[in-house]
Amino acid sequence: MERRVLVVIPAWNEAPNIEAVLAELRAARPADAMVVVDDGSTDGTAALARRAGAGVLQLPFHIGYGAAIQAGIKYGQRGGYRVVVTFDGDGQHDPADIAPLVEAVEQGADLVLGSRFLAPTAFRGSLARRAGRGILSIIARRLTGLSLTDPTSGLKALGPRAQELFALARFPDRFPDADALILAARARLHVAERPARMRRSRNRHSMHDGHRAVAYTFNMLLSLLVAAAGREADLRG
Amino acid sequence: MRQKIVFMTLALFLLLVIVELVRRRRLRVEYSWLWIAAGLTIVMLILRYDLLIVLTNAVGAVVTTSTLFFCCILYLALLCLHYSVRITALTREVKELAQEVALLKAEREVRPARQD
């Protein structure tokens, strides 16, 4: 039986989490293929993932979250998977939320996001993070006409057209969040949202903490404007 | 006169270094043009100081030194911009290569190389 769904798990030094994340995924989604994208880890993440039976895409050095995701999407395209799901390697996502995302893609959506804010137990986060997300949400709505509650979500399901867009060489690989959504909207992809529960990851070294959240927001704002003005959305290249 | 000799020596030395770097393949030919142009500009300004005065009047500056410094800073700023553009292109190329290496490695692990 050909597997239809590939779960891409970007991981950078996630040795404390990766085994539990993979075990949980395997239990919840036994029919799906899994590939861990090891983004230049130095703590043996790749070996742990291999031992857990996942496919491993080992990048020769650290190239960043977005580029790691992109590598996984390329892997999915070459393997001919209908749906590629991105699922963070730090344990913050719940495998139970994958099913509705995949279902939405099968019903015709190109790109489906897991949203914390549609879930019954709403995730809140620090004030800085909430403010940043609020601003991004408003701008993304202005620029795309999409009303998305959680544009920075790392839990996504991509159909073939979204995979094609995300695999472009010039796709924004530093901040593939709200700007990616703008590109998706401009490429006339059908974008949807489904509820997703987010957990505090067990051993977190999140990039969205403290002052980095501020820097991230500014980078994101600039990235949004570039996405809105640039030519990247043209799928024909 | 002493000024002219010092700066002429420096300019000629700069040109010599550039040519030597290109000759030893330490500097790509396409990048050497920028530096050769800079060196030749210095030589020209030493020989024809009146050109700098004409330029100073043209841009409305008061003293020639400020024209000179302004041009130097502008030149360096453009050079930095040029490097940023190159670095951006190289970063993208390195990313694409890193991804390709990972994909090919994974492919080989799934289907071990045939013995032929």
- Residue B77 sits at the chain A interface (C-beta within 8 Å): no
In a domain, B99, yes or no: yes
Give the lowest-confidence range in A78-92, A114-128, B6-20, B90-104. Answer: A114-128
Q: Are residues B8 and B43 in the same domain?
A: yes
| pLDDT above 80: residue A3 | no
- In the predicted model, what is the mean pLDDT of residues B4-27? 90
pLDDT band at B69, cuts 50/70/90? very high
| pLDDT above 90: residue B1 | no
Model pLDDT, residue A110:
95
The rounded percent of chain A whose pLDDT value lies above 90 is 50
| pLDDT above 90: residue B111 | no
Choosing among A58, A62, A73, which should be mutated to test the B contact, i.e. which has the most B CBs within 10 A? A58
In a domain, B116, yes or no: no
Model pLDDT, residue A121:
58
pLDDT band at A24, cuts 50/70/90? very high
Express each pLDDT in A85-116 by its tens digit: 999 998 889 999 999 999 999 999 999 999 88
Q: Are residues B69 and B105 in the same domain?
A: yes
Model pLDDT, residue A177:
67
Model pLDDT, residue A159:
95
- Residue B96 sits at the chain A interface (C-beta within 8 Å): yes
ipTM score of complex? 0.79
Express each pLDDT in A187-232 by its tens digit: 889 999 999 888 865 554 454 445 566 776 777 677 777 766 665 5
- Unique residue bearing structure tokens 């998706």: A184
Domain holding B103, by residue range, is 64-110
In a domain, B74, yes or no: yes
Express each pLDDT in B86-109 by its tens digit: 999 999 999 999 999 999 999 888
- Residue B95 sits at the chain A interface (C-beta within 8 Å): yes
- Residue B101 sits at the chain A interface (C-beta within 8 Å): yes
Which is more confident, A158 or B39?
Answer: A158
CATH second-level architecture of A5-229? Alpha-Beta Complex (3.90)
- In the predicted model, what is the mean pLDDT of residues B23-37? 85
CB contact residues (below 8 A), chain A span 73-92, against chain B = 74-75, 78
Spatial CA neighbour of A175 closest among A151, A155, A196: A151
In a domain, B21, yes or no: yes
In a domain, B115, yes or no: no
Domain count for chain B:
2
Q: Are residues B72 and B40 in the same domain?
A: no
Q: Are residues B70 and B100 in the same domain?
A: yes
| Through-space distance between the first and last CA atoms of chain B, rounded to whole angstroms | 75
What does the alpha-carbon distance between residue A236 and residue B12 come to, in Å, rounded to a whole number? 50
- A177 CB-near residues (< 8 Å, 6+ apart): A136, A151, A152, A153, A220
Other C-beta atoms closer than 10 Å to the C-beta of B102 total 24
Model pLDDT, residue A6:
96
Model pLDDT, residue A44:
92
In a domain, B90, yes or no: yes
Q: Are residues B43 and B68 in the same domain?
A: no
Spatial CA neighbour of A162 closest among A56, A107, A82, A95: A82
Rounded mean pLDDT of chain A? 82
Residue A50: helix, strand or coil by DSSP? Answer: helix
